[in-house]
Structure 1
Amino acid sequence: MESGEQRVMQRRPSRTASHHETVESLAEEVLQGLADSRTALIYAPNTIGKTRLAQHLKERDHEGVALYNSFVEDVFNWDNERVVLKMDPESELFESIVTQGLDGAIINNFQSFTSDRIEPRIDFESGDISFGIHKGDDDSADGIKISRAEESIFVWSVYYSVLSEAVETLSDSPDRRSTAAYDQLTLAVVDDPVSSMDDSRIVSVALALAELTRRASKLDLKFVISTHHALFFNVLFNSLRRKDNLSYVLARGPAAGWTLARQPRDSPFSYHLGIIDDLQGAISANSIERVHFNQFRALLEKTANFLGYTGGWGDLLVGPDAALMTKILNLYSHDRFADIDSADVVEEYKEAFRSEFQEFLKTFRWARQ
């Protein structure tokens, strides 16, 4: 698959990338960039270290950082017998929505990201969240269990509602604010909020987040947004004002740590050549790890978007192990703690990886010059 764009990209000089052996050094560069910018947008495949970076930013300034990442989902769990989503009443997130009375905003945001068909009901006393379809006819239903994608959207809606309220509150002068709870807030860190969402939802979330950064433009509130999803990255890149936004590609270092490179274009697709090199090196050295599966999925996603495959990245797997590889890639990409813990890969999965990666290169005629 050697397109004109690929040949052009191969002739470009490589981007200058900084190397960081510690997450502290990586975070420091991101924060230094924010001194003259409002938003840092970071692209990286899963398991590279986005969650680790997000956690570190929160830990270095607990009161000043509002964090959304995979650990936020731990605040929620299903009670399957009662068919309610439980929210931990001891969490800061729950305290915020109760204190500010944000149940109405959460419901409105959830329905704007999905539809008005499903209505959440939040019990502030117990932390129970129930879902129903209320049409006033025989199609009405209470106590339904929503899909995994809808659950992700609901969790994001809770965080988004709190952050929106913070922006609105900070827009008032200190003496007129309804609460002092957000006075110390200086940074919002958003790490991959679009897990399990389809493309239309991803676009909606990206546009709403971009609009929120614009609403916060006159405040002393900066944003760090990281993602593995090319579409989410592209929509944000094109929606944010270029002069106020820094964009990066985060990758593993050649030996240890990370490299952070400025991304001047609206698509991280040029990163595909580096991914191929990494995957071929891992196969040659017989050192295939979970990170390489997530890099392969990122490569498939970008290629599917580039070629206009409406069925998604799974259509690009055409070898004898396609079904197994699809299952593995879905399993690993939905591991909420993949950036923190990396388990060994069984030999059967490694063999399927070797087979399908080589079949992918052959089928789509990747050529390196």
Structure 2
Amino acid sequence: MNSIRNIKKFTTLSRLVTCLRNDLDSGANNFSLIYAYNGTGKTRLSMEFKEKGKIRRRGNNPTISRDTLYFNAFTEDLFRWDNDLASDTNRKLNLNSDSRFFSGFQELALEEKIYVHLKKYADFDFRIDYQNWAVSFSRIESVKDRGQTEPTTQIVDDIKVSRGEENLFIWCVFLAICELAIDQQEAYDWVKYIYIDDPISSLDENNVIALASDLAKLLRTCEDKIKVVISTHHGLFFNIMNNELKKHKHKCYFLYKNKHTNEYQLQSTGDTPFFYHVAMLKELKDASDANPCRLYTYHFNILRSIMEKTASFFGFEDFSSCVSGIENEALFSRALNLLSHGKYSVYEPQAMGLDNQQLFKNILDAFLQRYPFQLPNIGEVVQPTTSISPQTDTPQEIQT
């Protein structure tokens, strides 16, 4: 069975941005989720989106107005470490105070908002020095001196946090600013769009889940106020955002660049199992095959979601059709029903027990045997050229 999908082609990122903005402005959706591999041009796309919203007014008092609050690699570059190489004691994170990104920091008590988010992910504290526009970090540590029977706690100041912790702090700063924009505080009342590009660099899988769930919760409060675009190469993050926003007006896209024509090609995935699901299956397979095993209870949620999209693609009424007729069909269907109904274990993800690990592996292997998606090797690109036929269970050429 051949599948025909509409693919929009753009010779420039500028034209692609115009399409995305028109779609958001039309009211067709409030959230655009874009999955794309690294090297496609996601960061350049976010900057082009930001530039498209600038209006330059010339004359005696030239001004530039803008409409997009963005998070990407350029945002992270607004924070720069000073490791105090001379004495190695007064370490701090410098802020680029010239950026409009930091408007309203001091006046709007941003520290309180930042800390509310940060305490969910990390165990360190921070202090902002507005005179020098620098952030210092501290952590409470346990110390046991010689002769003491019980350890005591002390605050260690001016610590160097890890790269992952640094990224979490920067992300929490951005979330706090998003809150101000959603509340239409004067310093950020110019924000009409929020563009987020890959906020999960240097984060482990557990923090990715927490971050995605918290972000979706915040974004749901801005629906119809501010339009949002999110681009990512991370399958787990994309899948969670898609699930969290499924009851709201949103569209999912796969973006890739044709190496032969240099065209950007944007494909709406709708409710069909598209290429981010292939990436998700790859992550599930890697977690399943790892030694030691890296399976968590939320992986049942992800596997069921992929099966539901696959069933929808083939016109089946229920995801259980994906395991219909195979050995242990009843057990697999019942297990997915029971073990995927819980919410994501956001803050305390639970590792699967040995029995559930084996059960998960059996279900995943049976699914992949019936629907032999070609899972890429690490770093290998999945090209949008195949689908699976329910009649033959073999790859078929997609006619575009």
Per the normalisation by structure 2, the TM-score is 0.62
Judge conservation of contact 2:69–2:194 (CA < 8 Å) in 1. yes
RMSD: 2.7
What residue is the counterpart of 1:111 in the other structure? 119
Aligned to 2:191: 185
Which aligned pairs between 1:202-217 and structure 2 lie closer than 5 A? 202-217=208-223
Q: CA deviation at 1:249?
A: 0.3
Deviation per residue, 1:312-340 (Å, 9 max, x gap) = 9xx9xxxxxxxxxxxxxxxxxxxxxxxxx
SS at match of 1:58: helix
TM superposition shift of 1:243: 4.9
Distance, in Å, in 1 between the alignment partners of 2:276 and 2:240 is: 17
Match of 2:235 in 1: 230
Q: Tell whether the 8 Å contact from 1:237 to 1:266 is kept in structure 2 after alignment.
A: no
SS of 1:140's equivalent in the other structure is: strand
Q: Distance in 2 between matches of 1:356 and 1:205?
A: 24
Q: Structure 1 16/271 Cα, relative in aligned 2: closer, same or farther at 3 Å?
A: farther
Higher strand share: 2
- CA distance, structure 2, for counterparts of residue 310 and residue 208 of structure 1: 29
* 1:84 match: 92
What do residues 35-59 of structure 1 show as CA deviations (whole Å, max 9, x unaligned)?
Answer: 2210000000111011111001111
Residues 280-312 of structure 1 show CA distances to partners (whole Å, capped at 9, x for unaligned) of xxxxxxxxxxxxxxxxxxx5x751324543759
Cα–Cα, structure 1 residues 213 and 185, in superposed 2: closer, same or farther, change >3 Å? same
Q: Give, as a single letter, the amino acid of the residue that structure 2 aligns with 1:79.
A: D
Larger relative helix fraction: 1
Tell me how far apart the structure 2 counterparts of residues 305 and 356 of structure 1 sit (CA, whole Å).
Answer: 13
Structure 2 counterpart SS, 1:96:
coil
Q: 1:151 aligns with which of 141, 166, 180?
A: 166
2:164 is aligned with what amino acid? A
Amino acid at match of 1:101: A
Aligned position for 1:100: 108
Other structure's SS at 1:98 match: coil
Q: Which runs of 4+ in 1 moved over 6 A?
A: 355-358
Report what 1:244 is aligned to: 249
State the distance in 2 between where 1:48 and 1:356 align.
17
User: Is the 8 Å Cα contact of residues 30 and 227 (structure 2) preserved in structure 1?
Assistant: yes
Structure 2: state its 5+ residue gaps.
Answer: 55-65, 85-89, 143-151, 295-376, 381-393
Alpha-carbon distance change, 270 to 44 in structure 1, aligned in 2, over 3 angstroms: closer
2:157 corresponds to: 142
**Could you say if the C-alpha distance between residues 250 and 26 of structure 1 is closer, same or farther in structure 2, counting changes exceeding 3 Å?**
same
1:191 Cα deviation (Å)?
A: 0.7
Q: Give the fraction of aligned pairs with identical amino acids, expressed as a percent.
A: 28
CA offsets, 1:205-255, max 9 Å, x none?
111221122101242x10001100000000000000355001100001251
> Structure 1 stretches of 5 or more lacking a match?
1-10, 171-178, 273-298, 316-354, 359-366
Partners of 1:196 and 1:216 in 2: CA distance: 27
Contact 1:33–1:246, Cα closer than 8 Å, also in 2: no
Aligned residue in 1 for 2:9? 19
What's 2:77 paired with? 74
* Most deviating of 191-200 and 30-39: 30-39
Could you say which structure has the larger radius of gyration?
2
Match of 1:304? 283
3-state SS of paired residue (2:155): coil
3-state SS, counterpart of residue 187 of structure 2: coil
Q: State the TM-score, normalized to the length of structure 1.
A: 0.67
Give 1:269-280 correspondences, 5 Å limit.
269=275, 272=278
The SS at the match of 2:104 is helix
Contact 2:30/2:224, CA 8 A, preserved across alignment? no
Relative to structure 1, is the Cα distance of residues 147 and 12 closer, same or farther in structure 2, using a 3 angstrom cutoff? farther
Q: Is the 8 A contact 2:11 2:263 kept in 1?
A: yes
**Cα distance in structure 1, aligned partners of 2:75 and 2:378:** 34
Q: Distance in 1 between matches of 2:189 and 2:45?
A: 24
Distance (whole Å) between structure 2 residues aligned to residue 186 and residue 65 of structure 1:
6
1:42 and 2:21 correspond: no
Does the aligned pair in 2 maintain the 1:234–1:266 contact within 8 Å? no
Q: Judging changes above 3 Å, is the alpha-carbon distance between structure 1 residues 27 and 189 closer, same or farther for their aligned structure 2 residues? A: same
Aligned pairs, how many?
272
Helix, strand or coil: the match of 2:186? coil
Q: Does the aligned pair in 1 maintain the 2:32–2:230 contact within 8 Å?
A: yes
Cα pair 1:166 1:182 within 8 Å, conserved: yes
